[in-house]
Amino acid sequence: MVYRLCMRLKTSMMIGTIITILAIPISSVYAGGPRLDWPEDSSNEGKDCWVEGYDAGFAGKYDKGRADECANEGDEYNRSWDGACKDAGYIPDECKGFKNNPVDIQDYKALEQENANNCWRDGYEDGKADIPYNNSRASGCDEYYPDYTGGYKSGCTIDTTEASCELQIQGEEGYCPWHPDIAGCVDFLHNATNKLPAPKPTDICAGQGDPRPNIICPQEENPEGYCLRVNDTSFCKTIGDLCDADGFVKPEYPYCTTN
């Protein structure tokens, strides 16, 4: 059973890695977040205004000349700029100050790269200094590549393991149920308050699952993973070779270190 659990976990990790690789933006390819969320009726020039306004706002710079040029394009520069300034983490007074002190931005392509570099550097410095992962900064930096998360991983792995860094990035709730062999997850996984509630008695997947062959419940498909994530003692206590008397998966099963 240890081998089966390890293989399931490795398969999940491999799938997650492939998805991550496919999702990584290359050069100027983005996932279509607020930076590219221009109005549906936007013209080509309006789209440029929107993107440039976003990059400027995120950088904490305001180009009044370019904003005026975009006034006839639905004022898309200003509309995008306001949201980007907030996404970058600036407070309203700071954003107002940027607008009151405009600058002339000569190269918007360079500004895009400047934002990306700043995001990566902030992540790197936080990870290197063992500062907690900044979810707000990471979310704001999603529009750029390289991003905050990539920088954080690079800085964090200087002095600690990759697994420990991923735990900091994803948090116990997001990471531990899928990586039970990590020592830092032991306490989290053996605390019932961190688990999902068991299905209601009226749910089709309550108890031992649904007997109908065309319905596969989570506890039937992967009982180890199910008992790690769900506080279903009525089910987990019945698996004597897997769970202890309290319904927790025994350490010798999830915390495997061999193949």
CB atoms within 10 A of CB 222: 17
| Mean pLDDT within 26-49 | 79
Angle CA(161)–CA(162)–CA(163) in degrees, nearest 5? 90
Q: Which residue do the tokens 């900044």 mark?
A: 134
- Choice between 162 and 252, residue whose per-residue pLDDT is larger: 162
Per-residue model confidence as pLDDT tens digits over 125-177: 999 999 999 999 999 999 999 999 999 999 999 998 999 999 999 999 889 88
Residue 1 has pLDDT above 50, yes or no: no
Q: Tell me how far apart the terminal alpha carbons of the chain are, to the nearest angstrom.
A: 11
Q: How confident is the model at residue 27 (pLDDT cuts 50, 70, 90)?
A: very low
Per-residue model confidence as pLDDT tens digits over 208-227: 888 888 889 998 888 888 89
Per-residue model confidence as pLDDT tens digits over 221-246: 888 888 988 999 989 988 878 888 88
| Contact residues for 179 (Cβ-Cβ < 8 A; gap 6+) | 9, 13, 163, 166, 167, 185
